[in-house]
Amino acid sequence: MTEENETKSHSRTLSVVIGILVALLLVYILSVGPVALCCEKMHVNSATVRQFYLPVIWLHDNTPLQKPLEMYIELWGVH
């Protein structure tokens, strides 16, 4: 394998890894809606769930994502 091919291969691998990490981050953030719905329907008030979503809570409280996150959760029927 030539040096150029190795560089392209590493670049592709890095792109795939970054893509997977971004996708996982999005799935984590978007999972807050269904989880909030389940917690509301089952009357769960779990500190563990809150701990798990602390980064999303921080995003809500400290960034311009407050309104979009609230709208997204409302789409799931959570008030």
* Calpha distance 52→59 (Å, rounded): 13
| Widest distance between CA atoms in the chain | 60
Q: Is the pLDDT of residue 76 over 70?
A: yes
Helix-strand-coil split of the chain, %, nearest 5: 80, 0, 20
- The whole-number average pLDDT for the span 64-69 is 96
What confidence tens digit (pLDDT) does each residue in 17-59 have? 999 999 999 999 999 999 999 998 998 878 889 999 999 999 9
- Has residue 61 been placed in a domain? yes
Please report the pLDDT score of residue 27 as a whole number.
98
* pTM of the predicted model as reported, rounded to 2 decimal places: 0.80
Please report the pLDDT score of residue 60 as a whole number.
96
- Has residue 11 been placed in a domain? no
Q: Is the pLDDT of residue 1 over 60?
A: no
Q: Of 20, 56, 58, whose CA–CA distance to 35 is shortest?
A: 56
Number of domains into which the chain is organized: 1
- Has residue 58 been placed in a domain? yes
3-state secondary structure 60-74: HHHCCCHHHHHHHHH
- Has residue 18 been placed in a domain? no
- Has residue 6 been placed in a domain? no
